Amino acid sequence: MKSFKSIGISYKTASLELREQVTFTEDSAKAFMRRAQEVLGLNEMLVLSTCNRTEIYYTSDERLKLQLCTLMDIHHGLKEPSANHFDDMEGEEAIRHLYEVALGVDSMVLGDMQITNQVKSAYQWSADENMAGPFLHRLLHSIFYTNKRVVQETELRDGTASTASVSADLIKNYIGAFSSPTILILGLGEIGQTVAENLKGVEAEVRVLNRTRSKAEALATQLGYVVGEFDNLQQEINKANVVVSAIHAEHPIITSETLAEHHLPKLMIDLSVPRSIDDSVESQGVVLYNVDQLEQRACKALERRQKALPSVITIIEESLGELQNWAQEMEVSPTIKKLKNALEEIRKEEMSRYLSGLSDKEVEVLDKATKGIIQKVMKLPVLQLKAACKRGEAETLVEVLNDLFNLEKESSGKTAR
């Protein structure tokens, strides 16, 4: 487990600007893994990249933070070195961190439901590139099983605990009454972008508007949305069933006058501070939510999630213990294999001394009997090794078995032949 390591930045340690510069898409993550394998000789890697974090997990006897960051800087064309901004973990610390990230414990929004799917996608990218080795496979499957337990046994995922996700839930409930609804998202800063991501797959036409059109085009391409015309803002608002405003403005840019010609029922959500939608729109039959109202809804869910946190940590600790037992058993499995081979060689040598005068039936009986003896002889050492693993004393027993049966010589002898 000590050879498992990670480097990473997140919303806790790096600005949005830097996080954007080191973001990976599926194609770029795969290309980076291939490059890391070629340059650094790595054969096991996971690249996790979201709007809130970029983290690279890998297996190596060496800590390769500087080398990986340099490779990443080149990959992304960064002019300034990024290494000083990246955390560096190894062993149990790195493993525990991935558990907490994947389960939403380390998320900006506690219990974030998206992150587990994002980890699954990263795992698939690794598998596609043959960069998911035995340990990574076992670790990720353990994490996904732990996530299932968290969902079933705790309230960590209950309710909606961020203004962006509350907004998405309100929108999804509201548009259920319409056959072909249109959703307009105005402003694609971090919160506007998060709402857009939370609406991915919704059965509606989603139009995105931003002062910088290129940003709207990039997001629309990524999520399958339509780019609206910022210069025709009033028309865009009037033809939408839902308007989400996350644009920075000194004064409201949407008022009752903006809606003078609208004919559609409307839900409006104002995520801007200062507010960008004037309260007067409610006189036009609009259902309006502001940030304070959304946060009240989110806070209630967040309280339940925080109360569930101790139970979640307990489940993580149980899974970590099981993973550690498995990893320790994997460390002694070569010794078990060597011992089995050594005993098998003895069995075959002794068998060969008595085969010449025996019938086929007698040979079959003798072969079966001696194999049974070997299995019984092996049983106790294997059980003792596994028990020693749990006590953290396997190394001593491995040395004893090596000395008693000369296993190292047996292994090197086979290699030499």
User: For residue 274, is the peptide bond before it cis, meaning its omega torsion is within 30 degrees of 0?
Assistant: yes
Q: Is 371 left (phi over 0), alpha (psi -120 to 50) or beta?
A: alpha
Backbone angles phi and psi of 42, in degrees to 5: -80, 140
Which strands sit side by side in the sheet containing 53-59, from one edge to the other?
Answer: 45-49, 53-59, 4-10, 87-90
**pLDDT score recorded for residue 159:** 65
Beta bridge partners of 287: 267
**pLDDT score recorded for residue 160:** 63
Among 123-127, 233-237, 252-256, 354-358, the range scoring the smallest mean pLDDT is 354-358
**pLDDT band at residue 174, thresholds of 50, 70 and 90?**
very high
Average pLDDT over residues 41-46: 96
Radius of gyration (C-alpha) of the chain in whole angstroms: 30
Asked whether the CA dihedral 198, 201, 203, 207 is positive or negative, the reply is positive
Residue 197 belongs to a domain: yes
Indicate whether 128 and 241 sit together in one domain.
no
Indicate whether 34 and 144 sit together in one domain.
yes
- CA 73 to chain CA centroid, Å, is 22
How far is the C-alpha of 230 from the C-alpha of 232, rounded, in Å? Answer: 5
Contact 71, 36 (CB under 8 A): yes
**pLDDT band at residue 333, thresholds of 50, 70 and 90?**
confident
Indicate whether 148 and 281 sit together in one domain.
no
Indicate whether 184 and 123 sit together in one domain.
no
The residue out of 102, 118, 153 marking a domain boundary is 153
How far is the C-alpha of 372 from the C-alpha of 277, rounded, in Å? Answer: 81
Nearest CA-CA partner of 79 in 3, 117, 22: 22
Tens of pLDDT, residue by residue over 110-166, are: 887 778 989 999 999 999 999 999 899 999 999 999 999 999 999 887 766 678 888
**pLDDT score recorded for residue 161:** 65
Secondary structure class of 48 (helix, strand, coil): strand
Which CATH number characterizes residue 189's domain? 3.40.50.720
Considering the entire predicted model, what is its pTM? 0.65
DSSP of 168-214: HHHHHHHGGG-SS-EEEEE--SHHHHHHHHHTTT-SSEEEEE-SSHH
Nearest CA-CA partner of 184 in 238, 256, 248: 238
**pLDDT score recorded for residue 409:** 60
- Look up residue 36 and give its two tokens: 């890391």
Nearest CA-CA partner of 400 in 414, 384, 379, 416: 384
Residue 108 belongs to a domain: yes
Asked whether the CA dihedral 160, 139, 67, 39 is positive or negative, the reply is negative
**pLDDT score recorded for residue 415:** 40
Tens of pLDDT, residue by residue over 304-313, are: 888 999 999 9
- CA 243 to chain CA centroid, Å, is 31
Contact 202, 183 (CB under 8 A): yes
The residue out of 263, 289, 315 marking a domain boundary is 289
Indicate whether 277 and 342 sit together in one domain.
no
Q: Is the pLDDT of residue 94 over 80?
A: yes
Nearest CA-CA partner of 8 in 131, 121, 90, 111: 90
> Which carries the bigger pLDDT value, residue 4 or residue 404?
4
Q: Is the pLDDT of residue 395 over 80?
A: no
Residue 411 belongs to a domain: yes
Secondary structure class of 226 (helix, strand, coil): strand
For residues 125, 127, 132, 133, the Cα torsion angle rounded to the nearest 10 degrees is -170
Indicate whether 245 and 348 sit together in one domain.
no
The DSSP 8-state label assigned to residue 83 in this structure reads G
Q: How, if at all, do strands 4-10 and 87-90 pair?
A: antiparallel
Average pLDDT over residues 333-360: 83
∠ CA(194), CA(302), CA(161), 5° rounding? 20
> Which carries the bigger pLDDT value, residue 37 or residue 379?
37
Residue 312 belongs to a domain: no
Contact 56, 6 (CB under 8 A): yes
Nearest CA-CA partner of 296 in 172, 198, 159: 159
DSSP of 21-35: HT---HHHHHHHHHH
Q: Is the pLDDT of residue 416 over 70?
A: no
Q: Is the pLDDT of residue 359 over 90?
A: no
Residue 158 belongs to a domain: no
**pLDDT score recorded for residue 417:** 36
Q: How, if at all, do strands 266-270 and 45-49 pair?
A: unpaired
- Look up residue 416 and give its two tokens: 């030499």
Average pLDDT over residues 349-370: 86
* Number of independent structural domains in the chain: 3
Nearest CA-CA partner of 146 in 188, 104, 182: 104
**Domain, as residue range, for 117:** 4-153
Indicate whether 8 and 145 sit together in one domain.
yes
The residue out of 118, 153, 188 marking a domain boundary is 153
Secondary element (H or E) of residue 227: strand 226-227
CB neighbours of residue 80 within 10 Å: 9
Residue whose token pair is 């060597």: 338
How far is the C-alpha of 386 from the C-alpha of 390, rounded, in Å? Answer: 7
Residue 121 belongs to a domain: yes
Average pLDDT over residues 283-300: 84
**Residues marked as catalytic:** 51
How far is the C-alpha of 247 from the C-alpha of 387, rounded, in Å? Answer: 61
